[in-house]
Amino acid sequence: MTVTDIRKGLVGVIADETAVSKVNPETNSLLYRGYPVQELAATQPFEAVAYLLWNGELPTPEQLAALRATERAHRALTDEVRAAIDLVPLDAHPMDEVRTAVSVIGAQDLAGSGSVMDASGSAEENLARSIRLFAVLPAIVAYGQRRRRGEGLIAPRDDLDYAANFLWMTFGEVPDEVVVDAFNRSMILYAEHSFNASTFTSRVIASTLSDLYSAVTGAIGALKGPLHGGANEAVLHVFHEIGDAENVSSWLDDALARKRKIMGFGHRVYKRGDSRVPTMKAALDTLVAHYDRPDVAALYDALEAEFVSRKGIYPNLDYPSGPAYDLLGFDTVTFTPLFVASRVTGWTAHIMEQQAANALIRPLSAYSGPDERHVEGYVPDTAAI
Ligand code: SDX
């Protein structure tokens, strides 16, 4: 093995196979268990897509009803989890809140169970755990935003589906259909994307026979970074810096002169546009019309046109999602926790797939440190102590 074998960032490395999704930059397409994500986003409730990712098939009406019943039964925050969230400083990043809450849920669920020889759990146990995390994450995210605003907890409503209830718990109003539809589409589009950094993190942790909660907690840590999930939040910071459309050109002159990464653009796999962007942009357009915010559309279009023409780098899903979540009323720091609530379905599908055909993930490294040397030649500098 030589240093030339190194693929920094694992660029272009196929680490394993997966049946969960197919990202195809040649055709600019994304399939969830064979279904184009655009079709799923246009026709399915997020609950049905979660079922598909976990089970490999879209649910029958009976299977969807059963999933909905379980999801609704596990939406509420327990007092212990709420108390754990309340220990997190209000000015901490909400991703730390989400990571803490999942960690506490895992500690409680696993207390007194499992063996040191294998903490991974059975497929049935882990599917049930996945559904419970899917069910409670909206309450964790909604409560996080409300506590930072000094507002009280809103209990879930089991007469609303996943997307509508998520918005109800966050804002305390039953949302309009157009709002629910746009939010539901975003949850489906964010759900899964093969071996992205956070998903691969979850698989590495699962490959050691650690537990599902540890794998999800690790994935949350990976998603927080602005090169990955944190980009949707960063897009709004860019929008706020620019102000309005006529400032785009001068802002870009300065940003590119300082070699800044423009958040919401570029992708490790897609090099001529992210397959999900047209669907999320259409959802953004419905929100721009619903809230009468043509200024948002003007800024979005101006920055995209200018950056693509200058750098030939295209928007990724975070670019339309950021302004969409802003229009929906989510605080900017809540955007990446929204990504967690969605991607927990993809992560847990991958964790279960890894466990079903496991091999410990442990790559090699090329050593670049000092040649072998020995301690007898070492004389501590006692003066330095
Ligand atoms: C997500 O992997 C996934 O599937 C992730 C994701 C998912 O669903 O899980 O799709 C979600 O994470 C989307 C990406 C969100 N991140 C951002 O928007 C952050 C900004 N984007 C860049 O940091 C970058 O595009 C990456 C990290 C996303 C991908 O970069 P690569 O493939 O590692 O390529 P690179 O960083 O080496 O860029 C190649 C060149 C560089 O120029 P040079 O140094 O060679 O001159 O393109 C430039 C980069 O500087 N470049 C950018 C840029 N993206 C790439 N320059 C300015 N702004 C950008 N956004």
pTM > 0.90: yes or no = yes
The protein residue whose alpha carbon is closest to atom 58 in ligand 1 is: 261
Is residue 228 among the annotated active site residues? Answer: yes
Question: What amino acid occupies position 308?
Answer: V
Determine the distance separating the centroid of ligand 1 and the alpha carbon of 266, expressed in angstroms: 4
pLDDT interval class at 383 (50, 70, 90): confident
DSSP label at 378? -
Q: Which residue has the higher pLDDT, 380 or 319?
A: 319
Integer-rounded Cα radius of gyration of the chain: 22
Ordered structural domains, the chain, with CATH:
17-225+332-356 (1.10.580.10), 231-328 (1.10.230.10)
Count helices and strands (H / E) in the chain: 16, 3
Residue 85 has a CB neighbour count (10 Å cut-off) of 21
The protein residue whose alpha carbon is closest to atom 22 in ligand 1 is: 266
How far apart, in Å, do the first and last CA atoms of the chain sit? 41
Determine the distance separating the centroid of ligand 1 and the alpha carbon of 225, expressed in angstroms: 12
Interval 182-193: pLDDT, tens: 999 999 999 999
Q: What is the mean pLDDT of the chain?
A: 96
Percent over 70 (pLDDT), the chain: 98
d(CA 313, CA 338): 25
| Res 97: pLDDT | 97
pLDDT interval class at 117 (50, 70, 90): confident
State the catalytic residue, choosing from 16, 74, 158, 228: 228
Quote the ipTM score.
0.96
**Residue 75 in contact with ligand 1 by CB distance below 6 A:** no
Please report, for residues 3, 23, 148, 181, 243, the alpha-carbon distance to residue 313 in angstroms, rounded to integers and kept in the order given. 30, 18, 36, 29, 22
DSSP secondary structure string for all residues of 132-193: HHHHHHHHHHHHHHHHHTTPPP----TTS-HHHHHHHHHHSSPPPHHHHHHHHHHHHHHS--
| Res 2: pLDDT | 64
| Residue whose C-alpha is closest to residue 214's, from 107, 113, 360, 122 | 107
**Residue 231 in contact with ligand 1 by CB distance below 6 A:** yes
**How many degrees, rounded to 5, is the angle at CA 276 between CA 215 and CA 337?**
40
Interval 89-102: pLDDT, tens: 999 999 999 999 99
pLDDT interval class at 114 (50, 70, 90): low
| Res 364: pLDDT | 95
Among 1-5, 20-24, 68-72, 273-277, the least confident range: 1-5
Mutation pick for ligand 1 pocket among 24, 228, 318 (CB with most ligand atoms within 8 Å): 228
Determine the distance separating the centroid of ligand 1 and the alpha carbon of 346, expressed in angstroms: 21
d(CA 129, CA 106): 9
What's the order of all strands across the beta sheet hosting 21-24? 21-24, 29-32, 35-36
| Res 118: pLDDT | 77
Question: What is the four-CA torsion angle of 207, 210, 213, 217, rounded to 10 degrees?
Answer: -70
State the catalytic residue, choosing from 109, 211, 318, 326: 318
d(CA 12, CA 8): 10
The protein residue whose alpha carbon is closest to atom 24 in ligand 1 is: 266
Spatial CB neighbours of 259, under 8 Å, sequence gap ≥ 6 = none
Calculate mean pLDDT across residues 271-292.
Answer: 96
The protein residue whose alpha carbon is closest to atom 52 in ligand 1 is: 261
**Residue 30 in contact with ligand 1 by CB distance below 6 A:** no
| Res 62: pLDDT | 98
d(CA 285, CA 320): 9
The 3-class SS string of 6-36 reads CCHHHCCCCCCCCCCEEEECCCCEEEECCEE
| Res 1: pLDDT | 56
d(CA 210, CA 320): 36
d(CA 229, CA 223): 5
| Res 382: pLDDT | 80
| Res 26: pLDDT | 94
Residue 173 has a CB neighbour count (10 Å cut-off) of 11
